[in-house]
Structure 1
Amino acid sequence: MTLWKSSDIEKAINGKASMDFDVTGVEFDSREVSEGDLFLALKGEQSDGHLYLDKAFENGANGAVSEQDCVHPHIRVADSTKALDDLAKAARTRVNAKIIGVTGSAGKTGTKEALFAALNRSSHGKAHRSVKSYNNHVGVPLSLSRMPADTSFGIFEMGMNHKGELSQLTKLVRPHVAIVTTIAPAHIGHFSGEEEIADAKAEIFEGFEEGGTAIIPHDSPHYERLRKAAEKHAGEVVTFGLHADADARAIDMVPAIGGGTLVTAKIRNANLCYTVAEAGEHWVLNSLAVLAAVQAVGGDMAAAGLALAELPGMAGRGARHKIAIEGGTALVIDESYNANPASMGVTIAALGAEAADRRIVLLGAMKELGAASDTYHAELAVPLRAAQVDLAILVGDEMKILADTIAADPDHATKAVHVADALEAEKLLKTQLCAGDALLVKGSNAMGLAAVVGSLTDAGLKRAG
């Protein structure tokens, strides 16, 4: 189906079309262009999209936005990056949809995906969301520009690592509902402390449509700070958590048959019993935020509960794999996409709840933690002990202090091995992993641990000899 006509694009971005054309999608990476797409030739710090115009059309583009004339159907503009923002604004203006923005130090992508699953089910395919982790100054307007005109619900993830970034993004998105999942020392190297991170996350409320609903974590130590910031812009503030005063709160949580958690919750005036497919208390908290948002936009709560029960784990963000290994199978939990002290703690705790012969972690260094990096890494010894982790393979220079901290504690039962990189970790794992083990893989994306997961899961692991 047509997403944009060239005449509408031309008007939205104040450009000049070389001819009429229609497009079915929008893309800025020529390698990702599909049949019928609009290719945005963006100039970046590392590359210039204009060099790939021919490639984009070879891959099936129907038109392009370009700062220079070319032989292909295109719309000429003075600034293609500004054109992307202008197209995003036009996409946001033309829909009569309820828009939800999601931010936080952890759990953004999972919460966004759960919201999409819930609202897409009840709207019969009329929900739209940002794909992957497209949450920055390019990803957010790109996701907006891809939103169909007949969308009923739009869900957009917004991230930041500096003050002021969310303020710009949320004014493009203009959410009716905004969620802050959690506040943790992610990217703290760019901030003076967690208070500044909380303030930066609270910028999401600045873009509210009139009467917007802010959904914030009641259990956070920064709750009062977030609430005060939200009240400046929101028509309503809804809280979620385990606290008895939270508007959306879990009353009871028990392990579900087949995995995950069976939750009994009170979502303001509604009571709901549902299953969260993903393991861990952090996912229960995410589900409460999801249900509060679904209720705020008038969505179907029962459909949302069913969606949470069926939500699959995402690659790099909780996907679970059973791999064949000599004598049986081993469980691999893939959390390789990102890591900060808070998300490390909750995923290690979730591993501790797994029934397994041995619990093993492959942990990569956490980046952008600033002067407190050593402290944050060393403190991971505590959740490793609580989860009764048998073996910790620790990757990267920053993880050396955690290995030393564990080694210096004669009562710590975890065996810690420090290695330089993902390749060395993979070689070690292939000599250590056995049937009956549960392995958690988590680290900052720059550590390349996703490749280890891929190697383990592609064809299973066969022990030599």
Structure 2
Amino acid sequence: MTPLWTAAALRAATGGSLAAEPAISGISIDSRSVAPGDLFVALRDARDGHDFVADALARGAACAMVDRAPPGVAPDAALLRVADTLAGLTALGAAGRARFAGKLAAVTGSVGKTGTKEMLRLLLAAIGPTHAAMASYNNHWGVPLTLARMPAEAGFAVIEIGMNNPGEIAPLAALARPQVAAVTAIGEAHIGHMGGLGAIAAEKGSIVTGLVAGGIAVLPRDSAFFGQLAAQARAAGVVRIIGFGRDPAAEIRLLEAVTGPEGTRASLAVQGRQVAIAMPALGLHHAENACCALAVVAALGEDAARAAPALAGYAPGAGRGAPREIAVGGGTALLIDESYNAAPPAMRAALASLALRPGARRIAVLGDMRELGGFAMALHRDLAAEADSAADRVFCCGPEMAHLYAALPPGKRGAHAPDSAALAPIVQAALRPGDVILVKGALGSRMAVVVRALTEQDHRGAA
């Protein structure tokens, strides 16, 4: 089997020193997930990865990238020594991109990035070998890690690019150097750091600055910011822009979409043909993401209509809407786990999907949306109409969700708690068999605490 990286290639890519000659089959930044043959990269975040090098090597790592002497490691251990491990990983990602001869697409947007990336994984895999991150690796370490893990022989690659602050997308796009750059949608995510929707659109639109010569921009034709995004692409020298959406002017057009408990069906006009798709995922936003994904496939010069049936294999992942049955009071209930993240557009989409779920009661368990700055009070409070329409009872936690809770009709209020740990037992005690429970909030709201509480015990619900 051809190694992902040879020792010589590691030295050449990073400029580091390595006395051993390991053959690298994978790359890990978490010692707990190391597989035999991996290169372990000792990054610094909340904890210093150098403290886990010994554990990674004991678990079978073939080599570790370090910028200082790690504790408890033998003098003859296989260590790739670099000046800075994050810079070393970035250099390795750049080398991975440089040797890649396939077609690469990059995706950003306020919502829908990960779903669109997963749809592209399915669509492109129906055409040829495809590489994409298994998780939402879209930041300053996630993008280079995805590129460094990219097999040179893959036919396609999909890179997800995100941001929290101004100026973060363009450098990552320059590292990825896509042939196609897509923006899924513009919404209020991170608006507290950006100052307004126009600034968010400008930052998302900066993905086009990383396009290779002759690259194509895929933009949301239904967005109020389409004109701004298109002007930004033209200013960057992009000649071809493909619009997608319901707008009659869209080149890849969503003609009709229906959604219900069995999933989502849609009809689209794609490259001169009408294409029908069906996905076991509830919510009209999935049809919108599919429209973007098919536009990317077409922009890559592939037969999107022929690949479209692969979307039948798409389903939301863990923490992003995956449904599961849980035990409640001698019966069962349906848990919709959306605990990974929450921006206002995604929260509205999740509530709309909850409204379509049949059940004895529909329960919304909501944590704070983060990084909204001075817009936070209004954006939380303004969810009241959607929450009232979608749910029979609403449980909230966090200081910002208190504004939503106060805006609800008294009959819809379940409880409010300061944090997810305090809310979890209250929700447990309130559940009944037949309930459908949506759990959603920003990652920092730790709504996964509620999900674990509901899935790890048999809940004896209140009457």
Range of TM-score over shorter length: over 0.9
- Of residues 205, 223, 228 in structure 1, which corresponds to 2:226? 223
Matched, 1:445 2:431: no
Out of 321, 341, 361, the residue aligned to residue 338 of structure 1 is 341
1:267 to 2:274 alignment: no
Question: Of 134, 138, 141, which aligns to 2:137?
Answer: 134
TM-score, normalization: structure 1? 0.93
The answer to whether the 8 Å contact 1:198/1:222 transfers is: yes
CA distance in 2, matches of 1:424, 1:338: 19
Code of the aligned partner of 1:54: A
Q: Deviations over 1:139-159 (max 9, x none)?
A: 110110000110111111111
Q: In the TM superposition, what whole-angstrom CA distance separates every residue of 1:241-270 from its partner, at most 9, and x where no partner exists?
A: 1222222222122346x6112111112423
Equivalent-residue separation in structure 2 for 1:317 and 1:177 (angstroms)? 25
Alpha-carbon offset, residue 32 of structure 1: 2.4
1:23 alignment partner in structure 2: 24
Q: Which residue of 2 aligns with 1:405?
A: 407
SS of residue matched to 2:218: strand
- String of CA shifts for 1:13-58, please: whole Å, max 9, x gaps: 112221211110112222222110011223x254333332212101
1:303: how far off?
Answer: 5.8
Where 2:309 maps in the other structure, the secondary structure is helix
Name the CA distance, whole Å, in 1 between partners of 2:83 and 2:257.
56
Matched, 1:312 2:312: no
Residue in 2 that maps onto 1:65:
65
Q: 1:302 to 1:245 in 2, by over 3 A?
A: closer
In the TM superposition, what whole-angstrom CA distance separates every residue of 1:74-124 from its partner, at most 9, and x where no partner exists? 22222222221111111001111110111111111111111112212331x
CA contact under 8 A between 1:180 and 1:217: conserved in structure 2? yes
Question: 2:240 maps to what in 1?
Answer: 236
- Among candidates 366, 380, 383, match of residue 380 of structure 1: 383
The corresponding residue for 2:72 is none
Distance in 2 between residues matched to 1:458 and 1:287, nearest whole Å: 34
**Alignment-derived partner of residue 254 in structure 1:** 258
Among 284, 293, 305, the alignment partner of 2:296 is 293
Give 1:306 deviation, angstroms: 2.6
Residue range with higher mean Cα deviation, 198-207 or 223-232: 223-232
Question: What is the CA–CA distance in structure 1 between the aligned matches of 2:444 and 2:214, rounded to whole Å?
Answer: 40
Distance in 2 (CA, whole Å) between partners of 1:217 and 1:268 is 17
| 2-structure distance, mates of 1:385, 1:267 | 37
Structure 2 unpaired stretches of 5+: 70-74
Farther off after superposition, 190-199 or 290-299 = 290-299
- Whichever residue aligns with residue 407 of structure 2, its letter is T
Give the SS at the match of 2:400: helix
CA distance in 1, matches of 2:280, 2:227: 31
Q: Identity rate of aligned residues, in percent?
A: 38
- How far does the alpha carbon of each residue in 1:296-353 deviate from its partner, in whole angstroms, 9 at most, with x for none? 2234535643332221221110101122334643221111111111111111011112
Q: Which amino acid aligns with 2:422?
A: E
Report 1:205-220 matches (<5 A). 205-220=208-223
Amino acid at match of 1:118: L
Q: Are 1:348 and 2:351 an aligned pair?
A: yes
2:224 partner letter: P
Do the aligned partners of 2:4 and 2:149 also contact (CA within 8 Å) in 1? yes
Matched residues in 2 for 1:452 and 1:268: separation? 45
CA distance in 2: counterparts of 1:281 and 1:349, whole angstroms:
9
SS in 2 for 1:135: coil
In structure 2, the CA distance between the partners of 1:271 and 1:60, relative to structure 1 (3 Å rule), is same
Q: Distance in 2 between matches of 1:354 and 1:341?
A: 20
Q: Which deviations, in whole Å up to 9, do the C-alpha atoms of 1:224-251 show, x marking residues without a partner?
A: 1111112233231111112222222221
How many positions carry a matched residue from both structures? 456
- Equivalent residue, structure 2, for 1:194: 197
**CA 1:379–1:464: 2 relative to 1, 3 Å:** closer
- Please give the secondary structure, in 2, of the residue aligned with 1:397: coil
Amino acid at match of 2:59: N
Match of 2:123 in 1: 118
Q: Is the 8 A contact 1:364 1:395 kept in 2?
A: yes
TM-score (norm 2): 0.94
The match for 2:420 is: 422
Match of 1:434 in 2: 432
Please state if 1:40 is matched with 2:41.
yes
For residues 313 and 327 of structure 1, what CA distance do their matches in structure 2 show? Answer: 28
Map of 1:50 onto structure 2? 50
Determine the structure 1 residue equivalent to 2:363.
360
Does the CA-based 8 Å contact 1:178-1:204 persist in structure 2? yes
Partner in structure 1 of residue 178 of structure 2:
175
Q: What amino acid sits opposite 1:359 in the alignment?
A: R
Q: Secondary structure at the match of 1:16?
A: coil
Residue type of the partner of 2:244?
Answer: F
Match among 440, 461, 465 for residue 459 of structure 2: 461
- Which letter does structure 2 place at the counterpart of 1:23? I
> Is the CA contact (8 Å cut-off) linking 1:406 and 1:416 kept in structure 2?
no
Q: Contact 1:218 / 1:241 at 8 angstroms: preserved in 2? A: yes
Whether 1:9 and 2:4 are equivalent positions in the alignment is: no
Q: Is the 8 A contact 1:118 1:304 kept in 2?
A: yes
- d(CA) in 1 for partners of 2:67, 2:165: 29
Summarize the alignment of residues 152-167 of structure 1 with structure 2, pairs less than 5 Å apart: 152-167=155-170
- Contact 2:368–2:397, Cα closer than 8 Å, also in 1: yes
Q: Structure 2: how far apart are the matches of 1:157 and 1:100?
A: 9
Contact 1:131 1:143 in 2 (8 A): no
Following the alignment from structure 1 to structure 2, what is the Cα–Cα distance between the partners of residues 204 and 144? 16
1:402 deviation in Å? 1.2
Shift of 1:375: 0.6
Q: Are residues 400 and 179 of structure 1, via their aligned partners in 2, closer, same or farther at CA, if it must alter by over 3 Å?
A: same
Distance, in Å, in 2 between the alignment partners of 1:4 and 1:188 is: 40
